[in-house]
Structure 1
Amino acid sequence: MDFGLVLLIVGGFLLGGAWSMWRQSGEQDEPPATGRPKPGAQAAQPRGRSVPHVVIAVILLIAALLATASGILRLI
């Protein structure tokens, strides 16, 4: 097996990890269902993505792009 192909596979796994991290951090937006709301109670505000989630997703994305580009260049 050629090393370029291994780098392409690793890049794919890293890209999947980045996507998983990005999707996981967005799932915190919806509050859990608690039945009937109390009268006068305000709805929970969406929190969005936290900074550590975004940082890890960006690092994984950069690593995936570098591994994929390296794999393509090794195959050429």
Structure 2
Amino acid sequence: MFDSREVRDDHDLLTIRTTLGKSSWGTGLFYEHLPSENDPLLWIPDIVAWCYGAGGDWLRRVRPLMGNVIDTRLP
């Protein structure tokens, strides 16, 4: 699930396709955009992502909850 940001939902699709490359269609990956208030499970990644972006002490506090970080920003 992805938190819907309406006008940015297409950017998510582009990022997924770019990251997976030509194999994106054969992965069986399924995703859905939902407004974050509709699904409490979206609250957790929102909190972690906010802390990561805030940096400093917030990043230190949330680091134990995180696995590997993969930068998916397009060049």
What's the TM-score, normalizing by structure 1? 0.26
Give TM-score scaled by structure 2 length: 0.26
> Which of 1 and 2 has higher RCO (CA within 8 Å, sep 6+)?
1
More strand, by proportion: 2
